Structure 1
Amino acid sequence: MVARIRGLVHDGTLGTDDPLPSTRALAAELGVARGTVVAAYEQLDGEGYIRTRHGGAARVVGGAAGGRSGDVGGGPVPGAGREAGVGRASRPAPAPAPAPVSAHVPVPVLDCRPGIPAVTAISPRDWRAAWRAAADAPLRNGLSDPLGLPALREQVVVQLGLARGFTPGVSDVVVAAGTSEALSLLVEALRARLGRLPRIAVEDPGYRSGHRALTSAGAELVAVPVGPDGIDLAVLAGTSADAVVVSPTHQYPLGSVMPVGQRRALLARAASVGMVVVEDDYDSEFRHRGTPVPALAALDTDGVVVHLGGFSKTLDPRLRCAYLVLPRAAGPLHDAVVAARTARGAVVAEPVQVAVAHLLRTGAFRRHLGRVRRDYTHRREQIARRLAGSGVAGLEARALTGGLHAVLTWPGPAVGAAVPTGAEVVARVAAAGVLVADLADYEVERGRSGPGVVLGYGAVTLPELDRALDVVLAAIREPVAATLVDPRATILRAAVPGASVPGPADSGPVVP
């Protein structure tokens, strides 16, 4: 930790008077004891890198850092989806048009679909201050930097250095309008580099909006199953894919966590065959159990990893602000992405970038993460308690070691049994005023996962979560009449949008 902060100061990433996170916040973010951070700060203070004071933020000492460019508010800124086989998947069939919802289906009152964070949890004072900074930025005649506002890219570098264990160059960071746009940009760059449509391996089940973005940009999808350790490397080895998209820290939606050995094996294979690894760092900020997992990009020594992050699940999906970190050693890909981004132009409004940069620079972003991390942990524990005593035979919960959602699965129908499908449970709970997602909608190859639903808990209170669990568990317990089909299953399936879902693949009953 001491060496990392020293490095950020030496290379100018952290500048004069930049604030550092509080010892409590940084300890929670890194998963270490607070005393460890206190000792590190004391050592850095003694060495003259920072100054600490009681009741205030530790700050970088003047003269210790190199210079940087970029401004926020006009002044200098100190930086601080799918039918396919496993081996060869074609693009998904288009989704059916939503059917009109009949009048007897009530308006949902609890939205527990995945991918919705606690947007209102941020401090109103911090939120208003960020937008005041955007409003105070001077008007000017000119276009925005297509690669992104330098001040925002600098702050992304600082955050990655503190929280994810690697420090890219500012020129390696490219701002995108959400994860889907970032994936589309990568496909465009790969097409230019390869001179043909790229074959891209994806996790199955996986991020359906990402799948749509890839196929819409012209990629051919190759579906690879997910196991307890993440994507199946043996199946991946037989695909001859040009790139693979993985979410190794919290696989979406099943929540598998890829062990370090598997990560190194994936990187070694990618380097040996020239495959690009796209790391979707989904939900890395929210670990409820265990120690933080290193980013793939932090282990990459061959320049094969494109790191993808954003602010949709930490701040607000409506910001549509994400970023790619390009590997320095991958010159042709780096140049192709920059060329594609430059040709498309800036896609995230500059005031939005100014506001996000302000939240990062002032420490408001890290304070917000600390608050919601505690709240999400409480909700995760509530789900674990409720499901442990549910009395539903074979009910399992996955994705509870981190993130904002839980995946509930139950055994498929045996001979003579009438077990509900995920779509039937989705329809039943919607009729009771609760929205969840069908696990089958995240599959590329249908039937791979069995019956299940995905329940998001980021944007609901504990009492609301209790009510939603009452409704979901009752719907799972209720047997299906063999001769009846609920038409609302189709209606609700069409109505559920493609939100991302993370979670670990714990294959047993829920354990708090």
Structure 2
Amino acid sequence: MLTVELKSKDKMPLYEQLYLKIRGLITEGELAEGEKLPSERGLAANLQISRNTVTLAYEQLYAEGYVEVRPQSGYYVNKIDRINSEKKEEFTDIKNESVNPEPEYEYDFSPFSLCKESFPYRMWDRLYRQCMRDRGEELFNLGERQGDMKLRVAIAKYLFGYRGLSVKPENMIIGAGTGYLLQLLEHLIDEKSIIAMENPTYMQAYRIFSSLNRKVYPINLDENGLKVEELKRSEAKAVYLTPSHQFPTGVVMPIKRRKEILGWASGEDRYIIEDDHDSEFRYKGLPIPPLKAIDTENKVVYLGTFSRTIAPAIRIGFMVLPDGLLKVYRKKLAFLACTVPRIDQAVLTEFILGGHYERHINKARKIYKSRHDKLISSLKVFGDKVKIMGGNAGMHLMVKFKLDMSEEEVVSRGEKSGIKLVGLSKHRIGENPEGGEAYILIGYGNISEDRIEEGIKILAKNLIS
């Protein structure tokens, strides 16, 4: 029986600890190719953890290709190319995860952290067992390449009810996260064309496009979002946007600017990539409608993910293609199988249709709003030394510190006090036009209200005392 040490008091979730431990055993050759992993029930009993914890760890290993599933048999280790002495430098990230782990912070204000305690683990586990009991044999067969139609219909119904968005399930592609879907999309856009992006932007999207040798044209923002005149001068054929809550600045693009961008795409071979990454979490007024909702010429590619609303390990995203790009997809990439295991698709389908997802969102929204409000009230200790931007939505604020110190120094002082902060420059393409001004992203997703208040007081003491 596999035995690994897990730390119940660690900030890292148990399933993630287990996933990393087993992945390490596989990459180091301790678990050989073809070796069978313990059953979920058996390993859970041996480690005295919940079966759902083991399930989440195994599913992440499966999604990343470290193991395979054999129907009615279990999980088996896949063949993994080992590290040889001449290419060790190419795999430093794998080594560094155990040798030089990211330092632990007493107060984690990362803008990407999620509230883990709000997730209904028992319900997810119940639905998993229900799907295996009712559809177990079927779920081990190869499903539809764009993703199971039942899930696509469920997502389309949710988008209509919550986002006021009417989409065709036939135009939707299910994939293992937004990153994978962006890689698919890159192959559908003319390889010689330029992709424009907001600057600052979601850097993972920028890295994906850049890694595929795609020319990216960064476009600056004003108080209304991406500057359309710069977009017109870019000669781009596609533009990546987060219009409902721009990441990372929090700017909400007004209707006039949205129509200007739609006008840019009108009548041309151009497309708008709308990443609607955290639309569920708005704390004042009604949700901001997506750009896709006013797209009358079928020019918007609409992206969404469940990794930001459920859990990072739920690697399920979706992409709705305009008819023109759907034809290209079916011609060039229709042979690709869906990258999300069918059991995960089935569980998410029942989670949505049973109303559990909506209840989870409502619960999480209340938690995030309380933390959002606590962060704003805690920042009052700085007086007029801070300017808050991007409030009333999402899971972070952008804060300008009007102090005689740089962004780097603010972040460094925070780190020395056990406080994790992220500077805006980390999300900027190219040089930082703000110069020495300190713009900091302060997240509140996975830190309690008490800890928020404590952390900000300590930060203030180290910055303005």
Worse-matched range after superposition: 463-472 or 196-205: 463-472
Kept in 1, the 8 Å contact 2:201–2:247? The answer is: yes
CA spacing shift, 1:471–1:338, aligned 2, 3 Å: farther
Q: Indicate conservation of the 8 Å contact 1:187/1:198, yes or no.
A: no
**Match in the other structure for 2:72:** none
Please state if 1:220 is matched with 2:215: yes
Paired AA for residue 427 in structure 1: S
Q: 1:229 aligns with which of 215, 224, 227?
A: 224
- Corresponding position of 1:15: none
Match 1:364 to one of 353, 356, 363 = 356
Task: Check conservation: 1:200, 1:242, Cα contact below 8 A.
Answer: yes
Question: Partners in 1 of 2:355 and 2:98 — Cα distance?
Answer: 45
**Structure 1 partner of 2:148:** 149
Q: Distance in 1 between matches of 2:286 and 2:147?
A: 32
Q: TM-score, normalised by structure 1?
A: 0.68
Whether 1:426 and 2:394 are equivalent positions in the alignment is: no
Q: Is the 8 A contact 2:275 2:304 kept in 1?
A: yes
Aligned equivalent of 2:234, options 233, 236, 239:
239
Give, in whole Å, the separation in 2 of the partners of 1:107 and 1:309. Answer: 30
After superposition, residues 339-488 of structure 1 pair within 5 angstroms as: 339=331, 341-391=333-383, 393=385, 395-411=386-402, 419-449=404-434, 450-477=437-464
Partner of 2:18: none
1:108 aligns to 2:105 (yes or no): yes
Question: Residues 238 and 475 from structure 1, CA distance in 2 versus in 1: closer, same or farther, beyond 3 angstroms?
Answer: farther
* Paired position in structure 2 for 1:31: none
Matched with 2:316 is: 321
1:199 aligns with 2:191: no
Q: Quick one: distance in 1 between partners of 2:198 and 2:98?
A: 32
Partner residue in 1 for 2:136: 138
Task: Give the Cα separation in 2 of the matches to 1:216 and 1:311.
Answer: 24
Unaligned runs of 5+ in 2: 1-89
Superposition map of 1:500-511 within 5 A = none
Deviation at 1:469, TM superposition (A): 1.7
1:160-185 Cα shifts (integer Å, max 9, x gaps):
10011122111011112111111111
Query: Cα gap change, 1:290/1:222 in structure 2, threshold over 3 Å: closer, same or farther?
Result: same
What are the residue-to-residue correspondences of 1:51-70 with 2, within 5 Å? none
- The structure with the greater share of residues assigned to helix is 2
Aligned counterpart, 2:272 = 277
Indicate the RMSD between aligned Cα atoms, in angstroms. 2.5
Q: CA deviation at 1:438?
A: 1.7
TM-score using structure 2 length: 0.74
Q: Is the 8 A contact 1:410 1:451 kept in 2?
A: yes
Q: Distance in 1 between matches of 2:238 and 2:416?
A: 42
3-state SS of 2:220 partner? strand
| Structure 1 pair 391–411 and aligned structure 2 pair: CA distance change class (3 A) | closer
Which secondary structure state, in structure 1, belongs to the residue aligned with residue 137 of structure 2?
coil
Structure 1 runs not aligned, ≥5 long: 1-93, 413-418, 479-512
Give how far 1:102 is off: 11
Cα distance, 1:99 vs structure 2: 9.0
SS in 1 for 2:198: strand
Could you tell me whether the CA contact under 8 Å between 2:381 and 2:460 is conserved in 1?
no
Contact in 2 for aligned 1:201/1:223 (Cα 8 Å):
yes
Deviates more, 1:118-127 or 1:285-294: 118-127
Contact 1:106 1:432 in 2 (8 A): no
Query: Is the Cα contact below 8 Å between 2:201 and 2:248 reproduced in 1?
Result: yes
Q: Hey, what's the Cα distance between the residues in 1 that align with 2:143 and 2:276?
A: 26
CA distance in 1, matches of 2:331, 2:345: 21
Correspondence for 2:177: 178
Deviation sequence 1:117-153 (CA, Å, 0-9, x none): 2132023332222322343222246323221111111
Conserved? CA contact 1:133–1:358, under 8 Å: no
Give deviations 1:191-233, integer Å, cap 9, x for gaps: xxx3x33310001001001111111223111000112111111
TM-fit CA distance, 1:340:
5.0
Q: Residue 410 of structure 2 contacts residue 438 of structure 2 at CA under 8 Å; is this kept in 1?
A: no
Q: Distance in 1 between matches of 2:258 and 2:97?
A: 45
Q: Does the 8 Å CA contact 1:392/1:477 hold for their aligned counterparts?
A: no
Residue 302 (str. 1) matches residue 297 (str. 2): yes
8 Å Cα contact 1:308-1:325 kept in structure 2: yes
- Letter in structure 1 aligned against 2:400: T
Residue deviations 1:308-329, cap 9 Å, x none? Answer: 00111110111111000112xx
Q: Which of the numbers 103, 123, 128 marks the counterpart of 2:125? A: 128
Which residue pairs with 2:281 in the alignment? 286
Given that residues 198 and 241 in structure 2 are in contact (C-alpha distance below 8 angstroms), is that contact kept between their aligned partners in structure 1? Answer: yes
Identity fraction in percent: 25
Q: Secondary structure at the match of 1:243?
A: strand
Q: Which amino acid aligns with 1:155?
A: A
Deviation at 1:392, TM superposition (A): 5.2
1:336 partnered with 2:328: yes
What residue in structure 2 maps to residue 59 of structure 1? Answer: none
Q: Given residue 111 of structure 1, which amino acid in structure 2 is its aligned partner?
A: D
Distance 1:455 1:282 in 2: 17
User: Displacement of 1:272 after TM fit?
Assistant: 3.5
Amino acid at match of 1:354: A
Letter in 2 for 1:228: E
2:254 equivalent among 251, 255, 259: 259
Distance 1:143 1:262, change over 3 A: same
Amino acid at match of 2:105: P
Q: Which amino acid aligns with 1:295?
A: P
- Distance in 2 between residues matched to 1:101 and 1:130, nearest whole Å: 34
Q: Which secondary structure state, in structure 2, belongs to the residue aligned with residue 237 of structure 1? A: helix
Indicate conservation of the 8 Å contact 2:375/2:444, yes or no: no
Secondary structure of 2:441 counterpart? strand
Report SS of the residue matched to 2:413: helix
